[in-house]
């Protein structure tokens, strides 16, 4: 077994997050999805845990990845993009797998349009990190890793 000792965190990015870096930079900054994944990987490595990444623009693919996390993951970090505000099915998937899940948003959704103020996911997530930019993913990994180390 590697240094992650079987502890893997699934990092899920939803629709349009593949366009980070060019998409509405005034709102989301200039970092790319590759930058997000590099920082998350580095944070995980610092804690001796592993990461698996998925990005999809299709809700079914996100749900399948969440279901598969039951097999080998100890937690989930998810930025569901616009599905956050629309998808009961995604919420049900998170509730179904019952893994500790952290919801992340790069922007402070509460400073934005009213339709972004409601999340279908928050009530089934352990914590929500909004408005910290891409550092939010690192904060989420730090939190999950600490939680895992307290369990072991
Ligand atoms: O796609 C996104 C990105 C987002 O999740 C964020 O990271 O700030 C906020 C959502 O409202 C939006 O639809």
**Active site (annotated) includes residue 135:** no
Q: How high is the pLDDT of residue 2?
A: 52
The candidate with the shortest Cα–Cα distance to 36, out of 50, 46, 21, 23, is: 21
The candidate with the shortest Cα–Cα distance to 43, out of 152, 151, 146, is: 146
Residues 6+ apart with CB under 8 A from 84: 14, 90, 103, 105, 109, 116, 119, 120, 121
User: In this model, does residue 77 exceed pLDDT 60?
Assistant: yes
| Measured distance CA(51)–CA(89) in Å, rounded | 24
Q: What is the pTM of this model?
A: 0.96
Atom of ligand 1 nearest to the CA of 28: 8
**Active site (annotated) includes residue 120:** no
Ligand 1 pocket member 13 (CB < 6 A) = no
User: In this model, does residue 93 exceed pLDDT 50?
Assistant: yes
Give 4's DSSP letter: T
User: What tens digit of pLDDT does each residue of 113-128 get?
Assistant: 999 999 999 999 999 9
ipTM: 0.99
The candidate with the shortest Cα–Cα distance to 21, out of 55, 46, 52, is: 55
Q: How far, in Å, from the CA of 105 to the mean position of ligand 1?
A: 6
| Measured distance CA(50)–CA(119) in Å, rounded | 28
Q: How far, in Å, from the CA of 42 to the mean position of ligand 1?
A: 23
Ligand 1 pocket member 109 (CB < 6 A) = yes
């Amino acid at each position: 077994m590697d240094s992650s000792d079987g502890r893997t965190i699934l990092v899920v990015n939803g629709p349009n997050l593949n366009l980070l870096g060019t998409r509405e930079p005034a709102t989301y900054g200039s970092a790319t999805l590759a930058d997000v994944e590099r920082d998350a990987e580095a944070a995980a490595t610092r804690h001796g845990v592993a990461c698996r990444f998925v990005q999809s623009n299709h809700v079914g693919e996100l749900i399948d990845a969440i279901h598969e996390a039951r097999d080998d993951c100890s937690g989930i970090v998810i930025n569901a993009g616009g599905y956050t505000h629309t998808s009961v099915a995604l919420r049900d998937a998170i509730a179904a797998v019952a893994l500790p899940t952290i919801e992340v948003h790069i922007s402070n959704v509460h400073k934005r349009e009213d339709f972004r103020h409601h999340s279908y996911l928050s009530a089934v997530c352990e914590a929500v990190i909004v408005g910290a930019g891409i550092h939010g993913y690192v904060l989420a990994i730090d939190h999950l890793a600490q939680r895992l180390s307290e369990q072991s």
